[in-house]
Amino acid sequence: MTASQLPAPGAPGAAGATGAPRADDPAVPSWPVRARDVLTFEWTKLRSLRSNRWTLLIAAVVTLGVTAIVAQSLASAPASGQPNPIDPLAGSFLGYAEYTVLPVTVLSVLVFTSEYGSGLIRTTFAAVPRRLAVLAAKAAVTGAVTFTVGLLLALACFFLTQAIVSSSHGGLSFSHPGVPGAVVAAGFALTVSAVVGVGVGAIIRHTAGGIAVAVIVIYLLAVLCLALPAPWNTRLGRFTLPFAAYQAVTLHPRAGLLSPGLSILVLVAWPAVTLLVAGAVIVRRDV
């Protein structure tokens, strides 16, 4: 190429003084376009695995089955005149809390660890050198999918439970104060668990270890708090995910725990801290 064939300064495609492409060069996509491409990339990877769809389907079926069993036991309990130890609203999500949260958490850990195990993570970071963008995209896609699934399943669990219970003890209507917020909080709790799983997977990088750490964070910390003597069991337990989630989905919050509003903040804090740690870790690694 001769000097006369070079693009004039300021012309489309001309490079700056350092040789870098100009910001308005049509060959350089804008950041919204790049963000969309990264999100599409992660969404394609997530939905292309048939095992993800089957796991979610099986988890949903099992959750609804267990919910029906729990609701039937509540409906068949004799009326003793004493307050029922199981909250009429939180009881709708007993099966959901175990048979949906656990498999979704495992799948979320695999979002990162499966790529580290197969070596695909090198291709991902080569395609998207900004690793924080990869972390944000994985968390956003996983969070959006799990919130959609969680909200639909929480609605199904609530209506199924109340339909069974209403035949004997009278159920709650969806318009009852506190019910819509509790259903949304149940869906959000699934999102929280999933995003925590993504962050833990990015930190640990190994599937077995990542699943173990995620289960400890989401379940076992609360179990350990229950083993503590009073009042430390509630003083510490209220900052764990199960305690906070219970306060957010119950009709009658328990004394000694945080208010539903503060419990929501606890639910937000866990994935936020996990992602901050994951972001600090992945930018310092070679891979």
Assign 28 a pLDDT band (cuts: 50, 70, 90): low
28 vs 56: CA distance, rounded Å: 38
7 vs 15: CA distance, rounded Å: 9
Q: What is the pLDDT of residues 240-279, one digit of tens each?
A: 999 999 999 999 999 899 999 999 999 999 999 999 999 9
For helices 120-127 and 131-165, the axis angle rounded to 10 degrees is: 110
Q: Are 195 and 107 in contact, with CB atoms under 8 Å apart?
A: no
Backbone CA torsion sign across 37, 121, 201, 102: positive
Global pTM reads 0.86
Q: What is the pLDDT of residues 179-225, one digit of tens each?
A: 999 999 999 999 999 999 999 999 999 999 999 999 999 999 999 99
Q: What is the pLDDT of residues 148-190, one digit of tens each?
A: 999 999 999 999 999 998 877 667 899 999 999 999 999 999 9
Which pLDDT score, from 0 to 100, does residue 117 have? 93
| Residues making up the chain, counted from first to last | 287
111 vs 138: CA distance, rounded Å: 7
Helix H segments across 166-206?
179-204
114 vs 109: CA distance, rounded Å: 8
Domain boundaries, the chain: 30-74+87-282
Helix H segments across the chain?
31-48, 50-76, 94-99, 101-118, 120-127, 131-165, 179-204, 207-215, 221-226, 232-237, 241-249, 260-282
Closest CA to 98 of 215, 268, 244: 215
88 vs 150: CA distance, rounded Å: 20
Average pLDDT, the chain: 88
What does DSSP assign to residue 218? Answer: I
Paired tokens of 198: 């993504």
